[in-house]
Amino acid sequence: MIPTRTTLTPDEMPKRWYNILPDLPEPLAPPLNPGTKKPVDPKDFEPIFPKALIRQEMSSESYIDIPDEVLQAYMMANRPSPLQRAVRLEQVLKTPAKIYFKREDLSPAGSHKTNTSIAQAYYNMKEGIENLATETGAGQWGTALSLACNYFGLGCEVFMVRASYDQKPYRREMMRVYGAKVHPSPSDITDFGKKMLAKDPKHPGSLGIAISEAMETAVKGKNTKYSLGSVLNHVMLHQTIIGEETLLQFKKLDEQPDYMIGCVGGGSNFAGFTFPAIGEKLKKRMKTEFIAVEPTVVPSLTKGKYEYDFGDTAGMTPLLLMYTLGHEFVPSPIHAGGLRYHGAAPTVSQLVKNKVVKPVSYMQKEVFDAAVMFAKAEGIIPAPETAHAIKAAIDLALEAKKKNEKKIIALNFSGHGLLDLGGYQQYLDGKMT
């Protein structure tokens, strides 16, 4: 019998988040005030974020302790999560490679997003904030924040990209079950949403627009802060619980991955999975290669420009140095809604620029080809976002087969696709391009 799961006990769960900022090949460029083009003062973030998260955003500490209440909530969200070997997929591919996947789909919200939603809701609660406003693409982040806000007794208002709001009705209903208010974005309840609808009443929306609406709501709301599901440093920090667990699990296996793979929209699941290992590689203690996968129709890392840009469409955020397609870019309404973002996290972007991370892109149909192959082999239906990482893993496994190399391939299984079956229906009916 081949063991397929490597687990950790609650006592073995990492008690610290890893902060990659001190280990980057060069200092991370600061966010800039769009008016003065000077670095943003941390106090400028106080209208939208609690002080604890601002400190984490700017921290130069290599590790930050996880509060006990957050660790307790992580166990509710099924941490620590297993590292699973895709034995049947290996057999289907007839590859000598080993393929491992980190099970972030086991959270009640269905994805990795609870790793930061729980932390953000906790810190806001501790500072007396009563409500959080946010955006969501496919709905995984909105679902996770709704769950976390309910856990810590906060109100939650979510602006969901209209294309996904229409494609994924049950995801929005999950948010409502947890107590959140959910609006299609662009909406008719914010000034910026009304402006977008006036230009195009059938606007499909974008994450940039939804961010603008959520920030407007936070700034105008009573005792309300904004919560972000990706891109900024404190979000990447919270997600590193994934990679810290993964390193411990590979240590138990007495193995080291040759490749670590994650899909990238803003970059949070990729960062969470890979940053602890990237830190080890930068210290010359690992030789792993890191692959960031994005949709061909939203190619920020593979075809974007490395420059300062707004994180939202309205231009309400500070300017961030990142790979970007431009903050007014409106992506195609592909089913991987969580990857429909115009830019990538500054930390991920810098690692791509420094050639520590290799970006690749795939078309939607070939991604669903890989997703269905995985589902038939392993019995788990992946989210369309996750399927991008699976496609890259399959390609590497086939390359190993061709060269007869016993490579070890690891991917972050960032979320399940049980609420994405509309996309699978389109694929199976032969209507997907």
Task: Kindly report the three-state secondary structure assignment for every residue of 73-138.
Answer: HHHHCCCCCCEEECHHHHHHHCCCCEEEEEEHHHCCCCECCHHHHHHHHHHHHHCCCCEEEEEECC
Is residue 73 in some structural domain? Answer: no
- Measure the CA–CA gap between 197 and 203, rounded to whole angstroms: 7
Q: Coil, strand or helix: which one is 44?
A: helix
Contact 324, 208 (CB under 8 A): no
Both 143 and 257 in one domain: the answer is no
Both 318 and 339 in one domain: the answer is yes
Is residue 38 in some structural domain? Answer: no
Sequence-distant (6+) residues with CB within 8 A of 256 are: 250, 286, 287, 288, 408
Q: Can you give the pTM of this predicted structure? A: 0.94
**Residue located via tokens 């936070």:** 218
**CA–centroid distance for 74 within its chain:** 17
Work out whether strand 131-136 and strand 155-161 pair parallel, antiparallel, or are unpaired: parallel
Residue where one domain finishes, among candidates 191, 211, 233: 233
Residue where one domain finishes, among candidates 195, 214, 233: 233
**Closest to 372 (Cα-Cα) out of 348, 344, 400, 394:** 394
Both 102 and 123 in one domain: the answer is no
Both 176 and 211 in one domain: the answer is yes
Q: Coil, strand or helix: which one is 32?
A: strand
What is the per-residue DSSP string for 352-411? HHTTSEEEEEE-HHHHHHHHHHHHHHHS-PBPHHHHHHHHHHHHHHHHHHHHT---EEEE
Please report, in tens digits, the pLDDT of each residue of the chain (433 residues total): 777 999 999 999 999 999 999 999 999 999 999 889 999 999 989 989 999 999 999 999 999 999 999 999 999 999 999 999 999 999 999 999 999 999 999 999 999 999 999 999 999 999 999 999 999 987 899 999 999 999 999 999 999 999 889 988 999 999 999 999 999 999 999 999 999 999 999 999 988 899 899 999 999 989 999 999 989 999 999 999 999 999 999 999 999 999 999 999 999 999 999 999 999 999 999 999 999 999 999 999 999 999 999 988 888 889 999 999 999 887 777 777 678 788 999 999 999 999 999 999 999 999 999 999 999 999 999 999 999 999 999 999 999 999 999 999 999 999 999 998 989 999 999 998 7
Owning domain of residue 245: 5-12+78-110+240-428
Is residue 269 in some structural domain? Answer: yes
- Measure the CA–CA gap between 299 and 62, rounded to whole angstroms: 31
Both 360 and 283 in one domain: the answer is yes
Is residue 392 in some structural domain? Answer: yes
Both 201 and 308 in one domain: the answer is no
Is residue 84 in some structural domain? Answer: yes
Is residue 69 in some structural domain? Answer: no
Is residue 35 in some structural domain? Answer: no
Please give the tally of structural domains in the chain: 2
pLDDT reported for residue 103: 98
Token pair for 247: 């390193």
pLDDT reported for residue 208: 86
pLDDT reported for residue 136: 92
Both 54 and 103 in one domain: the answer is no
pLDDT reported for residue 409: 98
pLDDT reported for residue 168: 85
Order of strands across the sheet that contains 259-263 = 5-6, 83-85, 98-103, 408-413, 259-263, 289-295, 357-362
Both 295 and 422 in one domain: the answer is yes
- Amino acid, single-letter form, for residue 213: E
pLDDT reported for residue 336: 77
Both 281 and 224 in one domain: the answer is no
Both 151 and 84 in one domain: the answer is no
- Measure the CA–CA gap between 25 and 318, rounded to whole angstroms: 23
Contact 180, 163 (CB under 8 A): no
- Amino acid, single-letter form, for residue 248: L
Residue where one domain finishes, among candidates 201, 233, 265: 233
CB atoms under 10 Å from CB of 41, counted, come to: 9
Is residue 168 in some structural domain? Answer: yes
pLDDT reported for residue 70: 98
Both 157 and 50 in one domain: the answer is yes
Token pair for 390: 């699976």
Both 93 and 126 in one domain: the answer is no
CATH code of residue 117: 3.40.50.1100
